[in-house]
Structure 1
Amino acid sequence: MFTYTINENGLTVEELLRTKWRLGKKIVHELRMAKAVTISDEPILWKEPLDKGTKIQFAFDVPASNYEPTTECNVVIRYEDEHCLIVSKPKGMATHPNSPDDKNTCMNHVMRHILNNGGHYVEHVHRLDQGTNGLLLVAKHPIAKSIFDRMIEEKTIIRTYAAEVQGNIRTDSGTIREAIGKDRHHNTRRVVSPTGQHAVTHYEVVNRYKGTCVVHVVLETGRTHQIRVHMAHLGHPIVGDTMYGARETSSGDYALHAIQLAFEHPFLNESVVVKDQ
């Protein structure tokens, strides 16, 4: 299904899977039982040191994802290789279905792209709010999903957003460390709460205007509505974000854009930086 090139002398398959990729015991066991790892289609000893440059093959059964495909894929693919793709999700489109009736989400469109190219598995690694547009990372096989999920947890996938906020933030940069929880009085709203989940947002002011400023924001955690809640907590809600106290705009919308994804690719052993236009 895919080939991986060993990039250091003496690395074993066991070390690659357990130490470097840190796959779960279940996945490693399944790969071993299926004899899924080979060299030139020959079985391999998992604890045998391999030379740098050795190409090993992975071939295993991949389950089919259950997103119903759209007729056409109408989302832009910004990056793609055999392990993942990065799509530009439009504003107003949900990341994934929340009910059987949701058939026009970003993942439904991505499923059409995958099927058109001979695949049948695709799962999002993180999500974007419906009102947020921009870059979304999607895994194309279960091993990639497992590794990218861990990278999100360990904050080694750097997600950068741009937002225009009300007023002018006094400091040019800063970090917001405020836990976020559900609003007991509103089903979908979130609030800063000492009993909420740990949340960290880094921001930098990149442009200042008369009554607003533009900030670039890097998420260290990925809580629901995190940027919206944290900027409102600073007293500078995102322009148009009426749910969090901003004035309504003529479009009735707010502007939050996932503009960049950056990470060290675990399969290609190279840096990937993708920007949205």
Structure 2
Amino acid sequence: MFTYTIYENGQTVEDLLRNKWRLGKKLVHELRMAKAVTIDGEPIMWKEPFDKGTKIEFNFEIPASNYIPTQTCDVIIRYEDEHCLIVSKPKGMATHPNEPTDNDTCMNHVMRHIVDNGGHYAEHVHRLDQGTNGLLLVAKHPIAKSIFDRMIEEKSIIRTYAAEVQGNIRTDNGTIRAAIGKDRHHNTRRVVAPNGQNAVTHYEVVNRYKGTCVVHVVLETGRTHQIRVHMAHIGHPIVGDTLYGARESAAGTYALHAIQLAFSHPFLNEDIVVKDM
């Protein structure tokens, strides 16, 4: 259960779900049939206008996620409320299981935290490559998952990354627009391809060193390996990213860090900015 405060005079439940949150028809129908929206435990009329400040309750069956909890939660939680949490995924840890035997991923650790606090649902909203560390947004109930998924698609969740790349990019900032597809000759690699998925990456140089520079990158789209592919495409692969043509680093890994998530919270009506520096 969670409580939502009406922020606009005259808003109805129908308007909130269909127009403001833009939930799918199936989910809206399920909430209606379950009489899930109440005030003081009593079902309410969906087309009844409410005064600003009215508190309405959502009570509905939340399915259990399938991630097996780890023994302890060993990921840092940077932000949490009743709708979502943002964790700092370590480098070298997968976001989610790919095989039934994968039980030490970020989502397994998140589920340990969820279970310890009386819950049973957690689903990631986006992904980070195993070699990328930093901020990952996780929904704590299906309504939040639906809304955050749409926000990702509409580019209203701003994801900022820091990457150290080989060479010094001539321009201080720029935008890379190049479609990305699978490499037919390599199972895991992606390539710039005319028939690939549209991909847009914005970058800004924040530090310059001898032989490398650090860029802050904002994703407009979220393709697999997007930053890695795009930076290599312009001749500046991420330091240590041997899959995309960089020299091997002393640490044997590449330098890509999801440093910030920013969005307008759909439930709390406030701007959220979380950093992982």
Name the TM tier (shorter chain): over 0.9
Within 5 Å, give how 1:36-47 maps onto structure 2. Answer: 36-47=36-47
Within 5 Å, give how 1:234-245 maps onto structure 2. Answer: 234-245=234-245
Within 5 Å, give how 1:19-38 maps onto structure 2. Answer: 19-38=19-38
In structure 1, the residue matched to 2:133 is 133
Instruction: Quote the Cα distance in structure 2 between the aligned partners of 1:43 and 1:249.
Output: 60
Instruction: Quote the Cα distance in structure 1 between the aligned partners of 2:53 and 2:234.
Output: 51
Secondary structure at the residue paired with 2:27?
Answer: helix
In structure 2, the residue matched to 1:122 is 122
Instruction: Quote the Cα distance in structure 1 between the aligned partners of 2:129 and 2:96.
Output: 10
Secondary structure at the residue paired with 1:243?
Answer: helix
Cα shift at 1:251: 1.1
Within 5 Å, give how 1:76-225 maps onto structure 2. Answer: 76-225=76-225
Superposition RMSD in Å: 0.4
Instruction: Quote the Cα distance in structure 2 between the aligned partners of 1:153 and 1:70.
Output: 31
Instruction: Quote the Cα distance in structure 2 between the aligned partners of 1:158 and 1:222.
Output: 11
Aligned residues, how many? 277
**Structure 1, unaligned runs of 5 or more:** none
Percent identical pairs in the alignment equals 85
Cα shift at 1:42: 1.4
How does the TM-score come out when normalised to structure 2? 1.00
Cα shift at 1:141: 0.1
The residue type equivalent to 1:71 in the other structure is: Q
The residue type equivalent to 1:8 in the other structure is: E
Runs of 4 or more above 6 Å deviation: none
Cα shift at 1:142: 0.2
Secondary structure at the residue paired with 2:64?
Answer: coil
Secondary structure at the residue paired with 1:14?
Answer: helix
Secondary structure at the residue paired with 1:69?
Answer: coil
Instruction: Quote the Cα distance in structure 2 between the aligned partners of 1:221 and 1:146.
Output: 18
Instruction: Quote the Cα distance in structure 2 between the aligned partners of 1:44 and 1:274.
Output: 36
Instruction: Quote the Cα distance in structure 2 between the aligned partners of 1:141 and 1:150.
Output: 15
Secondary structure at the residue paired with 1:31?
Answer: helix
Task: Please give the per-residue CA displacement for 1:6-62, whole angstroms capped at 9, x wherever unaligned.
Answer: 001000000000000000000000000000000111111100111000000000000
Cα shift at 1:222: 0.4
Task: Please give the per-residue CA displacement for 1:158-205, whole angstroms capped at 9, x wherever unaligned.
Answer: 000000000000000000000000000000000000010000000000
The residue type equivalent to 2:89 in the other structure is: K
Instruction: Quote the Cα distance in structure 2 between the aligned partners of 1:271 and 1:86.
Output: 14
